[in-house]
Amino acid sequence: MAELLARIDDVSVRYKQKVVLEGLSLDIVEGAITCIIGLSGAGKSTILRLLNGLRKPDSGHVYVKGVDICHIPERQLVDLRRSIGFSFQFAAMFDSLTIFENIALPLREHTKMSETEIAKLVTSTLEGVGLPNIEQRLPSELSGGMLKRAGFARAVVTNPELVLYDEPTTGLDPIITHLLTDTIKRLREKLSGTAVVVSHDLQSIYMMADYVAMLFEGAIIAYGTVDEVKKSINPIVQQFLQGSEVGPIPI
């Protein structure tokens, strides 16, 4: 039986009067890539924020490494977040800082590494995502695909056990999408870690996912391997996967 790194258990989340998640449960298998799919605005990114404690549920529990992170002191939560990397949808780099300074930030904040050690690790991490010799560039000087990979580098530079990717391939051409998908797979293998990816890009998901979870109207309505989800008899799942206008999903 697969070991779980994290579990969301019967969670509900509301933003004012809007119910985003309701009675949602999801297992995150250790050492696997779990991809979360669903309609725009369904709450997929909220699941990522739950997993790193940026959002607390209105009810239910979120367990990471066996700890219910909904009911721990803020200091303990901060410590736990050090083992979780987060790659934001738009990279979220500080525009006024070089790429080196951006990626060095978590090392300076959360470790006691020397500047020499930090420099070596930043350089090797950038090389690991295919971005050698860009340390002194500003974020504005990078292409969209390069900026995404720099965001990956910052997310993994502390060697986290869990990496969360929010829409890593949105708005990018197929070649760069394939490159980023391959990068996520290689980083998971290099870190011997676990990844959760929120994405709309089905071809990318089919390439990288060990497990797929489909979110619809606040709950997970399908979960399993790529093949298992593809074979789902749920008409909502099939309509989504086929991109069809015909079916139970309102257009």
State the average pLDDT over residues 145-154: 91
- Please say whether the dihedral angle defined by the alpha carbons of residues 223, 225, 230 and 231, taken in this order, is positive or negative: negative
Whether residue 1 has pLDDT greater than 60: no
Q: Where are the chain's structural domains?
A: 1-83+162-251, 93-159
Q: Are 104 and 123 in contact (CB under 8 A)?
A: no
Q: How confident is residue 213, by pLDDT bands cut at 50, 70 and 90?
A: very high
What's the chain's average pLDDT? 92
Q: Are 238 and 232 in contact (CB under 8 A)?
A: yes
Q: How high is the pLDDT of residue 172?
A: 79
CATH code of the region 1-83+162-251 = 3.40.50.300
pTM over 0.75: yes
Which of 12, 24, 28 has the alpha carbon at shortest distance from 215? 24
State the average pLDDT over residues 79-103: 88
